[in-house]
Amino acid sequence: MKSQEMIQGVYVHTPFCLQKCLYCDFPSYAGCSADVRERYVRALCREIRQGRADGWYGALPVAPDATIYFGGGTPTVLTTDQLGRVVAALREAGWWNRPAEATVEANPGTVDASSLRALRELGFTRVSLGVQSLQDRELRAIGRIHTAAEAKEAVALAKAAGFERVSIDLMYGLPGQTLDSYGKTLEEAAALGLRHVSAYSLILEEGTPLERLVASGRVTLPDEDTVYAMYEATDRFWTARGLRRYEISNYAAPGQESRHNQVYWRYEPYAAFGAAACGFDGRRRRTNPAGVADYLAAVEAGLPAGAGPRTPGTPAVGAGNIPAGGAAAAAQGSPWWDEEDLDVATRLEEALFMGLRMVQGVSLEELGTRFGVDIRSLYKEEMANLIHRGMLYLDGDRMALTPYGMRYGNEAFEAFIRLWD
Amino acid sequence: MQQDHIRNFSIIAHIDHGKSTLADRLIEKTGTLQKREMAEQILDSMDLERERGITIKDQAVRAFYQASDGQQYMLNFIDTPGHVDFNYEVSRALAACEGALLVIDASQGIEAQTLANTYLALDNDLEIIPVINKIDLPSADPDKVKKEIEDVLGIDASEAVLCSAKTGEGVGDILEAIVQRVPAPQGDAAKPLKALVFDSKFDSYKGVLLYLRLYDGSVKKGMKIRMVSTGTEYEVTEVGIFKPNPENVEVLTAGEVGFLAASIKTVGEARVGDTVTDANRPCDEALPGYRKATPMVFCGLYPVENTDYDNLRDALEKLQLNDAALLFEPETSTALGFGFRCGFLGLLHMDVIKERLEREFKLDLITTAPNVVYQLHKTNGDIALVDNPSAFPDQTTIASVDEPFVRATIIVPKEYVGSVMELSQEKRGEYENMTYLDEDRVMIHYALPLSEIIFDYFDRLKSCSRGYASLDYELAGYRESDLVKVDILLNGDPVDALSAIVHRSNAQVQGRKLVERLRSLIPRQQFQIPVQAAIGNKVIAREDVAALRKDVLAKCYGGDISRKRKLLEKQKAGKKRMKQVGTVELPQEAFMAILSMDKK
């Protein structure tokens, strides 16, 4: 059976954080009570159990080695017991078999030796730590709850707990960050002996507190030349230390690449559970309600989450301090609740712009067969133009961005998107 | 109806003095439309007219009015545009009337176009009834306005009618004044048909509708008519009147206003100003007609998508059916491809046409900066008219250049006289004279280059007078000026559509401002782009658009695909609206950059 005819990954979302970071526009909420978190876990388990039966992913078998990814928010805001119940539900319902990789995201400020050991015992094989920077001043400037020392300690504790695969996230272009301070962060990160690092350029997202701070002039970001120097430095630094770039913002020692994230970039089917979670069956994509209250209401009403649109503005169940993200999400233009039936052209375009994020690019043969088109002739002009400009190259069956092409990746991605008006 | 019970009149006014609102009240008061049928400014039928609050086309309406003498009168009235660009529409309308309501805002008093329109009405020997409007406003000062009417216009103001078109107060007095003071038409229904075409409109079912004022004779369906100037003949398929919606009637007779349809295919066949007569019994002489409206402002119109070229031509042809003043001919630009050089009466006319092309024909257009027509005296003795800066020949072949001047009338409160004069001097104006309208307001005359008027004179006049100044102008011939062509080079390549003709003394400053403006408009691309201004081979200004260092979405995982896709689509759509010139992508605004140099 072809890889795109099976669920290759399972994502579970935890929309809670102890504190919201200033740059974050993800569906995650700070300040929820223990009671809400418990209700959320119950709803999540229920959605997971119904998930195999509700028919949405029904036709697709779960690959035996389908990856698991617990993301957020901060999954480790949940107790070990709660996480254990979610894992148990996944196992019972057949989502979690012999995963090639089971990752849990963690905030260095929310883990200790025993919680990490417990996660390992639950079956997680990989930890992804949101470190962002190893300079305390920079961490404070973006509203992180942990210090650089705690971050380093978390890496050590994760290793000690038996995690062979520990990854950290880093960010560059942060308020107050300089090329020097970023260089220090890289050096100190390298000293942790990591074999996987994600390094993201800070994106000033609309509606975030950081955006307002920058707009009002109270916070200054490094200039574009500096950010570009950091982008270059990242690549040089990790390459020199044996971590190869395998995606625009991801570096890994050979064999240490994130299996789960490659499911996305290869445009393979994945299941997703929890508020705001977004699943893909290879043809359709559906997104759960982003607000905790809306999500709870949907699941507690016995509906399989994602079973159908709710009217925006429907009173949230059990008001209290449960965030109803729906209205806010709708106001931001993100879907309140969405199911997209993707036509072939759209899927092909998405498969291309996701696939070209990877250094190895895409297989023209494989994508061509999958979507029943001849990519070389369909995109003849676009490909010739990008190749001529040194942004794209063909290597036998593979089409990939050059390092220069990655730098201006959006231009290349856009070339493969057709505008229909 | 007997001719002595017919009254034909126009409404003329400065813009915003309440002309169209008064027309609404007259329609309402005479019961021509029921109140529930009324939309505001009913005669402004184009969406654009309602939105902008301006009248662009003439509109004709027939109404019946029971006067206080117990008799019923037929009133034909024509609403006219107030903007200087459309003066020719006003003059056409006036030629079809015996009287005019001169509407003046009771708090603002006489403005520049009040004056211009009054002169037009006097030229046509019309009975002028001054109407002082908006008397409901707290700032209304009818006595002062009356004094202005006498002192400035030289019209007896003792019989001026006071009204508020908004509340309806005084509207009855206006109707009575029309009946009593506007002379009845003096035609002879028994004579051969003699009618003036004062406007025309293309209707896709009926062909061209001719708006007529009948002087002698009558016209009805089935009759064979002849256009006097061209000799072409048609059979009348319909005659009718506007109430204000078209309504067929049996016959139109001497003195009346209405329309006819005769399967006329293009407006060109039946020119406005022509005389219509009976083909079997022609009248002995034509009516005086009108001078042709001459376009004074030119610009290039190019489709963003080259494939839209044919659609653009079709659309321009359709608009021209209703707008004889619109000129266009094909032109080619190395930067923009195939497009049209279009001639307009003025900037508002240009804006209106552009907006209609985009709105009614769904065209995506690039407009180049507007310019006037220059008269070149070449060293070999030839004289050439140039309506496109890029067609300006090599400076060495030019002996001298003449440019059109206008005589501008500016009315302004006296405290702004200083700044108006300063501005006019800066714009190469030549002061002519100044008169006090009353103790507060002043009328100033300047000779100004038309190119400065279409550049930013009006905007700056408004801002230096806090909006109080009003402006009117008329063409006043050509004068020699020391003009040079400034070219713009992007990445070393000249962009023909960005060339501008400027006065030599301003070339340096303008060139610098233009490249600065372009730098701020051109999005950064993967390489550095030098933007240069040059006269001939001499570079007079340079700015660089810095290269974009990187442009790539930092992350995209499973939950992000839709959102990131939309982001890419939006970016791509934005780029699609840009024009690839050589290796550089130019946004559409760049081609109008010269008009927006002081805006940051």
**pLDDT per residue over A264-291, tens digit each?**
999 999 999 999 999 999 999 989 998 9
Average pLDDT of the residues of chain B: 87
Going by pLDDT thresholds of 50, 70 and 90, the confidence category of residue A328 is: very low
Whether A350 and B563 lie within 8 Å, measured CB to CB: no
Better pLDDT: B554 or B272: B554
Question: Would you state the pLDDT for residue B55?
Answer: 58
| Amino acid in position B227 | M
Residues of chain A positioned with their CB less than 8 A from the CB of B578: none
Of A224, A409, A417, Cβ closest to residue B553:
A409
Residues of chain B positioned with their CB less than 8 A from the CB of A417: 565, 568-569, 572
Whether pLDDT at B3 is above 50:
yes
> Do the Cβ atoms of B137 and B124 come closer than 8 Å?
no
Average pLDDT over residues B259-287: 86
Nearest C-alpha of chain A: how many angstroms from B574? Answer: 11
Ramachandran category for residue A114: left, alpha or beta (phi over 0 → left; psi -120 to 50 → alpha): alpha
Question: Would you state the pLDDT for residue B551?
Answer: 93
Whether pLDDT at A375 is above 90:
yes
Interface of A with B in 107-146 (CB under 8 A): none
Give the number of other CB atoms < 10 A from CB of residue A344.
Answer: 12
Whether A419 and B552 lie within 8 Å, measured CB to CB: no
Whether pLDDT at B226 is above 60:
yes
Average pLDDT over residues A200-222: 94
- pLDDT, one tens digit per residue, over B482-532 is 999 999 999 998 999 899 999 998 899 989 999 999 998 898 888 999 999
Residues of chain A positioned with their CB less than 8 A from the CB of B551: 407-411
Question: Would you state the pLDDT for residue B334?
Answer: 85
Nearest C-alpha of chain A: how many angstroms from B371? Answer: 34
Flag the least confident range among A5-14, A295-304, B474-483: A295-304
Whether B569 and A278 lie within 8 Å, measured CB to CB: no
* E runs forming strands in A288-420: 338-341, 362-363, 392-395, 398-401
Task: Please report which residue ranges of B111-268 form alpha helices under DSSP H.
Answer: 112-123, 142-148, 171-181
Whether pLDDT at B244 is above 50:
yes
Residue A157 sits at the chain B interface (C-beta within 8 Å): no
Q: Report the percentage of chain B scoring pLDDT > 70.
A: 92
Residues of chain B positioned with their CB less than 8 A from the CB of A410: 551-553, 568, 571
Average pLDDT over residues B363-383: 92
Q: Looking at chain B, which residue has its C-alpha nearest residue A410?
A: B552
Going by pLDDT thresholds of 50, 70 and 90, the confidence category of residue A310 is: very low
Whether pLDDT at B382 is above 80:
yes
Q: Report the percentage of chain A scoring pLDDT > 70.
A: 90
Flag the least confident range among A148-152, A410-414, B590-594: B590-594
> Do the Cβ atoms of B97 and B29 come closer than 8 Å?
no
Average pLDDT of the residues of chain A: 90
Give the number of other CB atoms < 10 A from CB of residue B542.
Answer: 15
Whether pLDDT at B537 is above 50:
yes
Q: Looking at chain B, which residue has its C-alpha nearest residue A284?
A: B562
Question: Would you state the pLDDT for residue B259?
Answer: 93
Average pLDDT over residues B13-40: 77
Whether pLDDT at B199 is above 90:
no
Residue A353 sits at the chain B interface (C-beta within 8 Å): yes
Contacts of B560 (CB under 8 A, 6+ apart): none
Q: Looking at chain B, which residue has its C-alpha nearest residue A202?
A: B554
Interface of B with A in 563-582 (CB under 8 A): 563-565, 568-569, 571-573, 575-576
Interface of A with B in 328-347 (CB under 8 A): 334-335, 338, 340
Whether B526 and A249 lie within 8 Å, measured CB to CB: no
Whether B561 and A410 lie within 8 Å, measured CB to CB: no
Average pLDDT over residues A364-384: 95
Going by pLDDT thresholds of 50, 70 and 90, the confidence category of residue A303 is: low
Question: Would you state the pLDDT for residue A312?
Answer: 42
**3-state secondary structure string across B1-21:** CCHHHEEEEEEEECCCCCHHH
Q: Which two tokens stand for residue B189?
A: 């229904």
Whether B558 and A278 lie within 8 Å, measured CB to CB: yes
Of B553, B562, B576, Cβ closest to residue A410:
B553
Cβ contacts from A onto B, under 8 A: 97
Whether pLDDT at A59 is above 50:
yes
Better pLDDT: A57 or A257: A257
Whether pLDDT at B349 is above 80:
yes
Whether pLDDT at B362 is above 70:
yes
Whether B568 and A410 lie within 8 Å, measured CB to CB: yes
Question: Would you state the pLDDT for residue A320?
Answer: 43
Going by pLDDT thresholds of 50, 70 and 90, the confidence category of residue B42 is: low
Question: Would you state the pLDDT for residue A391?
Answer: 97
Question: Would you state the pLDDT for residue B208?
Answer: 87
Better pLDDT: B19 or A179: A179
CA–CA distance, B73 with B79 (Å, rounded to integer)? 19
Average pLDDT over residues B5-16: 89
Q: Looking at chain B, which residue has its C-alpha nearest residue A349?
A: B565
Question: Would you state the pLDDT for residue B246?
Answer: 84
Whether pLDDT at A324 is above 60:
no
Whether pLDDT at B41 is above 90:
no
Average pLDDT over residues A162-187: 97
CA–CA distance, A389 with A152 (Å, rounded to integer)? 42
Question: Would you state the pLDDT for residue B80?
Answer: 73
* Residue the block writes with tokens 């806010």: A328
Calculate the CA dihedral of residues A401, A405, A410, A414 and round it to 10 degrees. Answer: -60
